[in-house]
Amino acid sequence: MNTGPPKDLTKLRAPSSPSYDPIEDAPFYKSQPVPFGFLTRALSEIELCKGQKSKDAIKEIIANVFRSAILLSPNELADLFYFFCIKLAPEYEGLETGIGHEILLKSVAKACGKSPTQIRDSFKKEGDLGLVVQLGKSTQNTLGSFFTKKNTEAKAALNFKTVFEAFKKISKTSGNSSQ
């Protein structure tokens, strides 16, 4: 496993770039886990795609993510495929997040310090729950960071496998207190 120096993310071409190189521009090395930030960057670029050629642009972004995974971390390819299909596993396994729309709305309301009704209204207006969260958090004032001790230790970057496995674990949770 190559653990060369971390790549300078500011010098890497984005997955949406026509000159994207699946090895040189990937933010990880061969046999390293796919960083979750790589996927969030790709998804953010997809979100910005508009116009007549947007489907082609979206296909290119996803293809570049897959190209990097095929060449550098092929063991994560199947899970990446399911992730982009908004699935956790093949249909016959029956794994679902089990997180319904109402639970998600209430969770967003709690995280943003707003009522579920306010979140529903914002969702109707914006049409995107992610945008509602972003707007809700930007207007929320907190003192939590003021009172908490600052941790100077560097945290390990979140990787796709960790996030995907957490979703699988959630999907297998059952019982009275699972929701």
8 Å CB contact between 76 and 160? yes
User: Residue 57 — left, alpha, or beta (φ > 0 → left; ψ -120 to 50 → alpha)?
Assistant: alpha
Question: Strand pairing partners for 35?
Answer: 159
Q: Is 85 helix (H, G, I), strand (E, B) or coil?
A: coil
Q: What is the mean pLDDT of residues 15-38?
A: 93
Is 50 exceeded by the pLDDT of residue 164?
A: yes
Q: Is 159 helix (H, G, I), strand (E, B) or coil?
A: strand
Tell me which DSSP letter residue 177 carries. G
Q: How many CB atoms lie within 10 A of CB 115?
A: 12
For the record, the structure tokens of 153 come out as 């230790």
For the record, the structure tokens of 67 come out as 């190209």
Sketch the domain layout of the chain as residue ranges.
Answer: 9-93, 97-141
pLDDT in tens, 64-103: 999 999 999 999 999 999 988 888 888 888 887 767 778 7
Best-predicted range by mean pLDDT (17-21, 123-127, 144-148): 17-21
